Structure 1
Amino acid sequence: MSSSDIFIGETIGTAVLILLGGGVVAADVLKRSKAQNTGWLAITLGWGFAVMTAVYMTGSLSGAHLNPAVTVGIALKDGEWGDVPFYFAGQLLGAMIGAALVWVAYYGQFQAHLTDPETASKPAVEGPGPVLGVFSTGPEIRNVWQNLATEVLGTLVLVLAVLTQGLNEGGKGLNALGGLIVALVVVGIGLSLGGPTGYAINPARDLGPRIVHALLPLPNKGGSDWGYAWIPVVGPLIGAAAAAGVYSLAFA
């Protein structure tokens, strides 16, 4: 596959991933949404379906990594890093586009939620604003080592599943069955390990939408919680490296 195919495929695929994944969170969280308060099970299933849709849509173009941690895991397994910048660039751009599209789709709900007297009466803060969870993740209990460990463990499971179950014949991305398996693994991670931090398990999925949250003209939006932002970037990358290590020791 060419570098342009990789960039285009990762941009489209990650945009679809975030549109559908962020969309299910918006549906659950925002006032005046018909799906408000549908709960954690709906969110985890929504993210799993988002992964499956994006993988099947763009797997033939780029291998549908859709996640810098997956890209790093595959690169460590193969020792080939030449295409990694194109994957990273497409993933971050796609995540930002997807987050902006969530805002477009739920524009009225964002306005209703953030101008509601209960929300608007709360002072703006430097920490997580009232709708930041639609865009990016955050911990329920702020404990750096625990939050980092949770992201490491969740990503280790994800990337090891990709390396052992999901790669196509060329070993550069997900095959058809792998897309389904990985989507189900994402649901499982969300149900089992998502409670503490919201399971970013994907640096682009968290960083791109967090940047969009900081840039969008949302009233009373509060802060983007940049003090926490390094954990859902660093943790998944450590988890990816750990998964590649386990793969090379046990499966290669």
Structure 2
Amino acid sequence: MMDSPLEKARRIFHIENRTVVNCLSEFYGSLLLLFLGISIVHQFDLSHKQLNTWMQINLGWGFTIMFCVYTCSKTSGGHLNPAISLMFYTLGKLPLSHFFYYSIVQVLGAFVGTAFAYTVYLDQTHHVLGDLRIVAGPNGTAGLFTSMPAPHVSNTIAFWDQFVGTGFLALFACVITDKRLEIPFAIHPLLIGLVVAMIGMAFGMNLGYPINPARDFAPRLFAAMIGYGWEVFSYHNYYFWIPIVAPFFGAIAAAWSYFIFVGFQIPDQPPSYMKENKTDGDGIPLKTTDLA
């Protein structure tokens, strides 16, 4: 029986080194995430909010996260976020070296994805903005790429916003992936996407919920390189470091809060599972009277 072209290509391109595979996966997933996500924002802003609504922005990012996590879930796990990778390291589920590898390729992938999105909307950007690249204010457009808080939002509140928003993402990621809850693996990405949409609906007003250091820093760097300049970093009293740093603290704090308050209290083998399968925690058949 002849091999299909896919099988032949698989033998050629298959990589045995799992670290390389995982890094390629995180790079590719982050590229897709920002390619789609930044395109969603461009369509919303460049059309003067005529082609999308804020609800569609939230759902669009939710769908984007869902499909990107599906894409990478069987290789690297689909973190696509340095804060989530650090969270898994603190839980003992990711080596420290992998956290650094993941973070680097996530930023690189996010940068390339941003560049791709920019090229798709290059003509529209020139039509709407001309040669103007204004960071903030009534005519500011740096928000096409990265978070830019309004003048009345303090950096203290901005830090808390990112702590909380990323915290909820990390908390529910722990809930969804907790094996004791027996949530089918196949729907994990779907649920993560819904969580992101929910966070946008709850916490999008202050900063637009970047909740991902790679998602905010890489497009900010790209914006600086295409004409917005150093002001994307100096704006709002050097706000730029907040969506890079705060998500790490929020993710770790929220993840451990889940396990301390709930996760560590869940039995290793839930009674419902034992009854359904008529076995004890070690797979030994139970007597009928034990199931009463």
Aligning the two structures, in what range does the TM-score lie when normalised by the shorter sequence? 0.7 to 0.9
Q: Which of 178, 193, 197 does residue 203 from structure 2 map onto?
A: 193
* 2:249 alignment counterpart: 238
* 2:142 alignment counterpart: 132
Distance in 1, matches of 2:124 and 2:233, equals 22
Residue identity in the other structure for 1:185: V
* Structure 1 residues 165 and 110, CA gap change in structure 2 (3 angstroms): same
- Identity among equivalent positions (%) equals 32
2:135–2:142: 8 Å Cα contact kept in structure 1? Answer: no
Q: Which of 78, 83, 100 does residue 98 from structure 2 map onto?
A: 83
CA distances 1:168-223 after superposition (whole Å, capped 9, x unpaired) = 89xxxx9431111110000000001111111011000000111111112x5x7893
Distance in 2, matches of 1:128 and 1:145, equals 23
- Kindly indicate whether structure 1 or structure 2 has the higher relative contact order, using CA contacts under 8 Å at least 6 residues apart: 1
Residue identity in the other structure for 1:223: E
Q: Which of 159, 166, 170 does residue 159 from structure 1 map onto?
A: 170
* 1:52 alignment counterpart: 66
Distance in 2, matches of 1:5 and 1:168, equals 24
- Deviation of residue 23 (structure 1)? 0.7
1:224 aligns with 2:240: no
Runs of 4 or more consecutive aligned structure 1 residues displaced over 4 Å after TM superposition:
123-129
1:148–1:232: 8 Å Cα contact kept in structure 2? Answer: yes
Distance in 1, matches of 2:178 and 2:43, equals 32
Q: Which of 89, 100, 110 does residue 95 from structure 1 map onto?
A: 110
* Structure 1 residues 156 and 87, CA gap change in structure 2 (3 angstroms): same
Distance in 2, matches of 1:132 and 1:124, equals 7
- Deviation of residue 37 (structure 1)? 5.0
* Structure 1 residues 175 and 98, CA gap change in structure 2 (3 angstroms): farther
* Structure 1 residues 40 and 164, CA gap change in structure 2 (3 angstroms): same
* 1:211 alignment counterpart: 221
1:114–1:221: 8 Å Cα contact kept in structure 2? Answer: no
Distance in 1, matches of 2:42 and 2:104, equals 25
* Structure 1 residues 241 and 127, CA gap change in structure 2 (3 angstroms): farther
* Structure 1 residues 2 and 128, CA gap change in structure 2 (3 angstroms): farther
1:11–1:93: 8 Å Cα contact kept in structure 2? Answer: yes
CA distances 1:68-88 after superposition (whole Å, capped 9, x unpaired) = 111011111116423111111
2:136–2:148: 8 Å Cα contact kept in structure 1? Answer: no
1:162–1:182: 8 Å Cα contact kept in structure 2? Answer: yes
CA distances 1:51-95 after superposition (whole Å, capped 9, x unpaired) = 011111121221100001110111111164231111111110111
Residue identity in the other structure for 2:208: G
CA distances 1:128-169 after superposition (whole Å, capped 9, x unpaired) = 973211211122333011111011001110001111113689
* 2:276 alignment counterpart: none
1:166–1:182: 8 Å Cα contact kept in structure 2? Answer: no
* Structure 1 residues 125 and 189, CA gap change in structure 2 (3 angstroms): closer
1:144 aligns with 2:155: yes
Q: TM-score, normalised by structure 2?
A: 0.75
1:76–1:244: 8 Å Cα contact kept in structure 2? Answer: no
Distance in 1, matches of 2:114 and 2:138, equals 17
Alpha carbon RMSD of aligned pairs, Å? 2.6
Gaps of 5+ in 1: none
Q: Which has the larger radius of gyration?
A: 2
Q: TM-score, normalised by structure 1?
A: 0.86
Distance in 2, matches of 1:249 and 1:142, equals 33
Q: Secondary structure at the match of 1:83?
A: helix
1:130–1:221: 8 Å Cα contact kept in structure 2? Answer: no
1:6 aligns with 2:16: no
Q: Number of aligned residue pairs: give it.
A: 239
Gaps of 5+ in 2: 1-16, 265-292
